[in-house]
Amino acid sequence: MNITRRFASLLLLALLSIPVSVTAAEPGSTARVITFYGYEDCVRLENDQTRVTLCPAAGGRILEYAYKGENALYLAAGGEGWTYERDKKNGSMTAGRFDIGPEQTIPPHPQLWMGRWTGEILGTRSARLTSPKDSATGVQLVREFTLDDKTTRLDCKQIMTNVSQETKEYCYWSRTFAQGGGICVIPLTKPSRLPNHYVMYGPGPTINFLPEDPHIRNRDGFLIITAAPQFPKLGMDTYAGWFAYLMPNDLMFVKRFPTYPDRVYNEVAGLTMSIWYPEGSMCELEPIGPRERLAPGASAAFTESWWLLPHAYPDDGHQVDPKTVAAEVTRSTSR
């Protein structure tokens, strides 16, 4: 092995803690370490049409999920290269974030949320990010990402392990910032605990179980959100296991995730998903998992799958036909 090749191999091992060298694959599709958004240790997964960029340095998140170069995620300017330090002002934690809940009762956990994780390249289009062991919550998180060989499908698996000496109860919580100004199409299921199939948080700590908003309507068994509502945080109890977000850049962001009608969902309103839709540049897309009761040393996993599908953005949100959207989602994501 010549000196240049040996140096490159040692650098890759140092950055990613990879136990073995990465298996070579066709040009343009091999997982590799890159510099992106001010971070020198990002992991790039890609195929001919899709690009995914992972960030172990700040919160184990996804910075880029792009179809033909068009990033679906909202990544704010000004947060480039920011890393967490105790007592340091918080940085810009945008783009593809993940977390655990329940939101209102979990202890603060900055190390899990925005601390430095480690990264591992697992294969041609797969990687693993691992958090530190967190004393505040008593858990450690592992996230495994796998990009399909040909399509935009990205599987995002989070494994939660109780590293404490007592039983812990938490849930999976996805907190993806997509580009703002889109239209949410959410299939509903019956029965629902919620008269209008959703709740609205606010004003203040109030949770309105009977909200009405001109930008939210129920049509043909779907909830359609066409613009920012009066209060941005919404929650649903649907068990359909998917939703679509139609974006102004002519992409449809689809998330699929498992739901469990016979299990406990331990968010305050028993939510299976949430949408946070403020006025501005982003919309938060949030699948939520059921309660996991973990004995010391026990683990639980939750996987959500993402797709980006070409879809012309309608001039008027009221023109959206949810049944047509559902048919497109079924056709494109069930293969």
Say what percent of the chain tops pLDDT 70: 91
**Higher pLDDT among residues 2 and 275, named by residue:** 275
- Please check whether residue 106 is in contact with residue 170, taking contact to mean a CB–CB distance below 8 angstroms: yes
* Distance from chain centroid for Cα 7: 35
- Residue 159 — very low, low, confident or very high, per pLDDT cuts 50/70/90? very high
- Please check whether residue 157 is in contact with residue 305, taking contact to mean a CB–CB distance below 8 angstroms: no
pLDDT, tens digit (0-9, with 9 covering 90-100), for 41-84: 999 999 999 999 999 999 999 999 999 999 999 999 999 999 99
Q: How far apart are the first and last CA of the chain?
A: 43
pLDDT, tens digit (0-9, with 9 covering 90-100), for 116-150: 999 999 999 999 999 999 999 999 999 999 999 99
pLDDT of residue 30: 79
- Using alpha carbons, list the distances in angstroms from residue 275 to 28, 89, 214: 35, 27, 16
Determine the topology of domain 97-105+116-333 in CATH: Beta-galactosidase; Chain A, domain 5 (2.70.98)
Instruction: For residue 131, count CB atoms less than 10 angstroms from its CB and return exposed for 0-12, middle for 13-18, buried for 19 or more.
Output: buried
What residue ranges do the domains of the chain occupy?
97-105+116-333
Among 56, 89, 61, residue whose Cα is nearest residue 75: 61
Cβ neighbours of residue 5 under 8 Å, at least 6 residues apart?
Answer: none
Question: Residue 69 is encoded by which pair of tokens?
Answer: 């170069």
Count the alpha carbons within 13 Å of 237 in the hemisphere toward its beta carbon. Answer: 22
Distance CA 192, CA 210 (A): 13
Peptide bond into 191 cis (omega under 30): yes
